[in-house]
Amino acid sequence: MAAARPSPPWTPSRPDAPRSTWLRFASPLHFTRLVDGLAPPLMLAAAVLTVIGLATGLLIAPTDHQQGEAYRIIFVHVPAAWMSMIVYLAMAAWAAVGLVFHTRVAFALARALAPTGALMTFLALWTGALWGQPTWGTWWVWDARLTSELLLLFLYLGVMSLHAAIDDPQRADRAAAVLALVGVVNVPVIYFSVQWWNTLHQGASVSLTRSPSMAGTMLAGMLVMALAAWAYCAAAALMRARTLVRQGQAFETQLAVRRDPR
């Protein structure tokens, strides 16, 4: 009697195969290989989309009839503001995964997203000030949207500072993850602040429930810049996480050598 042929790894008789395939990326080796393949095309896409988006926004899009040329700052300001919130949610999600499953890669991703999110938040605040001076006549007001966005920057800085202040890497990962999760409550405050309070900041120009309140060329340029910002944030965070994972491996190797010098 002929021996039964083993089933291939992707047959329905192994329902756990897709799950185990995804879980393998929790391995530092598989994760670093994944980043090696994803990061370069993402960074290239970010560069190409930035050139296209800026060209569309600065050279092709028409002048706004109310704000004049000053409105063109939105092609940087709005994508940066979007990504400041999206990156924080991603950071908190990976922090939760790290706390639940105790995976090094998840904590590394959460930690790697913090500097990128802080950069996007700072860029949103800075370009917002450049926009506010000619529009509102002042660089800064303690507006609900601006204040909650500033708090978001402090949360990013707090997560990074808390992690750096704790010597034990595992305790540092857990403490920073808890702070990241606590800070999630600020994200809906930022998003809904213009609806909940009477603020100087204008409402959303792009919404899923109504037509955009801007010309098609303006919208196209802003969406292309948003894709560019997303690609950059993903590439930067992945490359930083790869470095953190490798540093963690080197640290564990040093500890093993110290415990058993043989």
Is-contact 150 201, C-beta < 8 A?
no
How confident is the model over 210-214, as a mean pLDDT? 58
Q: What class does CATH assign to 36-199+210-259?
A: mainly alpha
The reported pLDDT for the residue numbered 36 is 93
What percent of the chain is predicted at pLDDT more than 70?
Answer: 77
DSSP lists the bridge partners of residue 68 as 64
pTM over 0.85: no
The reported pLDDT for the residue numbered 261 is 59
How confident is the model over 48-56, as a mean pLDDT? 96
> What does the alpha-carbon distance between residue 221 and residue 216 come to, in Å, rounded to a whole number?
9
DSSP lists the bridge partners of residue 64 as 68
> What does the alpha-carbon distance between residue 210 and residue 93 come to, in Å, rounded to a whole number?
29
Average pLDDT, the chain: 83
> What does the alpha-carbon distance between residue 18 and residue 104 come to, in Å, rounded to a whole number?
21
pLDDT digits (tens, 9 = 90+) for 144-180: 888 999 999 999 999 999 999 999 999 999 999 999 9
Checking if the pLDDT of 2 tops 50, the result is no
CA distances from 94 to 23, 27, 170, 172 (A): 14, 15, 15, 15
pLDDT digits (tens, 9 = 90+) for 221-232: 999 999 999 999
pLDDT digits (tens, 9 = 90+) for 116-130: 999 999 999 999 888
